[in-house]
Amino acid sequence: MIEQIAKTAHAIHRAYCLEMGIATQPTWKIVSLDHKKVVYSSIKHILDGQINTVEQSHNLFVKSKYERGWRFGEVYSIEDKLNPRMVEFSRLTIEQRVKERLFFDCVSSFNVC
């Protein structure tokens, strides 16, 4: 079930990015295993109730990415491990907050508890 939720959340995230003119997100089948682990962890924490807000979800994302060598960068780069979302939730642009909200709400919709 986690894999299907991850695919669905990623598809929504990718579609939003493409519509915003941000062509940085590959299809799920070529997303790195390292990134998939971050997504799976976030999903598990949302579904088991450890994460209850979009802000908490974002904080876990940032922490997980930092642990994997990612850092803040104005321009997203998989090769250089740079991501403009590596900041506090309150400092995200509206577009970035929408991406975070889409992920959180998509995953939360699968919660059967």
Q: Is residue 113 part of a domain?
A: no
Over the stretch 31-57, which tens digit does the pLDDT of each residue have?
Answer: 999 889 999 999 999 999 999 999 999
Boundaries of domain holding 71: 2-108
Q: Is residue 69 part of a domain?
A: yes
- Whether 85 shows a pLDDT value over 70: the answer reads yes
Q: Give the three-class secondary structure for 27.
A: coil
pLDDT at position 63 is 94
The total domain count for the chain is 1
Give the pair of three-digit tokens for residue 48: 């088991």
Which helix (H) or strand (E) element contains residue 15? helix 2-19
- Whether 113 shows a pLDDT value over 80: the answer reads no
Q: Is residue 35 part of a domain?
A: yes
Residue keyed to tokens 């940032």 = 62
DSSP 43-57: HHHHHTTS--SHHHH
Mean pLDDT value of segment 62-90: 94
